Structure 1
Amino acid sequence: MIHEDILNYNNSKSQNDKAICDKLLEIIQKQLPHFENKVWHAHPVWFDDGNPIVGYNKLKNGIRLLFWSGASFEEDQLNLGTGKFKDASKTYTTVDELNVSDIERWLQKSKEIQWDYKNIVKRKGVLERLK
């Protein structure tokens, strides 16, 4: 079930950005239908047992699809995050740029490859691999 706050988030965007967000929502929900989802830190995020795995947000230059453990996916199309975290992302400026098969593959990897962000505060910023 899609959290109402995510629908409100998408509906608050410009027509172009809303089209991207709606398509990302459709793809993510199809691949992760039973995962918890909500607006977290002001943007839509999906969780596996309380651990954030994928989300999207509005940036100045487009809509960013973010995978918390994406740096471990070994996917050239994803841009690696900076710093000590294991995130990676892809930014879209039009809905036509979305490659559904790539996103579905990354979503599958997000279920199989995870770093423990849920307990990062307890571990004083140290990430441990879950899967």
Structure 2
Amino acid sequence: MNNNPTVGNSEQKNGIRLMFWSGADFNEEKLNIKGKKIKDASTFYNNITELKTFDLIRWLKKSREIQWDYKNIIKRKGKLERLK
């Protein structure tokens, strides 16, 4: 939505981290919430066989439905506002 980041990934030593920028509000057991200020949540895959398509589809749908305005976080001096 309007260049607002919703999902990302990073290659790490033991596998891939899949992160949803607004994932803390998804209410998903399989996503780990790291911080309280930033609303991200992520999961880690050591092997592609661990990825469950039905989980990924559900999370991607939620990433479109639930969003915090990360695009303007600097302009708002670190304050997040809910978009959806």
Greater relative contact order (Cα < 8 A, sep 6+):
2
Please tell me the residue identity of whatever aligns with 1:82.
G
Match of 2:9 in 1: 56
* 1:67-115 alpha-carbon deviations (Å, 9 max, x no partner): 0000000001001022410000010010100000001000000000000
Distance across 1 between alignment mates of 2:41 and 2:50: 17
Distance across 2 between alignment mates of 1:104 and 1:130: 21
Q: 2:63 aligns with which of 107, 110, 113?
A: 110
Computing the radius of gyration over CA atoms, which structure comes out larger, 1 or 2? 1
* 1:128 matched to 2:73: no
* 1:3-49 alpha-carbon deviations (Å, 9 max, x no partner): xxxxxxxxxxxxxxxxxxxxxxxxxxxxxxxxxxxxxxxxxxxxx21
Query: Structure 1-normalised TM-score?
Result: 0.62
Decide which structure has greater helix share: 1
Q: Which runs of 5+ in 1 are unaligned?
A: 1-47
* 1:91 matched to 2:80: no
Q: Which runs of 4+ in 1 moved over 4 A?
A: none
Distance across 2 between alignment mates of 1:83 and 1:75: 16
Please tell me the residue identity of whatever aligns with 2:6.
I
RMSD: 0.9
Q: Which runs of 5+ in 2 are unaligned?
A: none
- 3-state SS in 2 of match to 1:86: coil
Q: 2:21 aligns with which of 68, 84, 87?
A: 68
